[in-house]
Amino acid sequence: GNSVTQMEGPVTLSEEAFLTINCTYTATGYPSLFWYVQYPGEGLQLLLKATKADDKGSNKGFEATYRKETTSFHLEKGSVQVSDSAVYFCALNQAGTALIFGKGTTLSVSS
């Protein structure tokens, strides 16, 4: 079945450091891929998405590229801020089915 694997955290960085959170997936066909973010005490928010191979999703300085050849959708940001501290979830879905989430990666950014 479909699944998502993302790097385990926590990830601890200093402000302005480069961020990469790895995400790989297993799916038949061509899923849509997503990154969601959950700030402390809040619900999930869509951060970015990509719906086909080689698409790049971007938002708030975060980027991720849909790589079908490596079945990956790694999240990157060139310079993190303290306000980026949150839990990040990689997810996929196909043909309108429910989202399948990775286990989440906690990011902690210190000043």
Part of the chain binding other proteins (CB under 8 A), chosen from 13-21, 35-43, 63-71, 73-81: 35-43
Among 29, 40, 69, 96, binds other proteins (CB under 8 A): 96
Would you count residue 43 as binding other proteins (CB under 8 A)?
yes
Provide, rounded to whole angstroms, the least separation between the CB of residue 79 and other proteins: 27
Part of the chain binding other proteins (CB under 8 A), chosen from 16-24, 38-46, 52-60, 69-77: 38-46
Contacts of 55 (CB under 8 A, 6+ apart): 65, 66
From the centroid of its chain, how far is CA 33? 9
Would you count residue 109 as binding other proteins (CB under 8 A)?
no
Distance from C-alpha of 101 to C-alpha of 110, rounded to nearest angstrom:
27
Tell me which residues touch other proteins (CB under 8 A). 32, 36, 42-46, 49, 89, 93, 95-104, 106
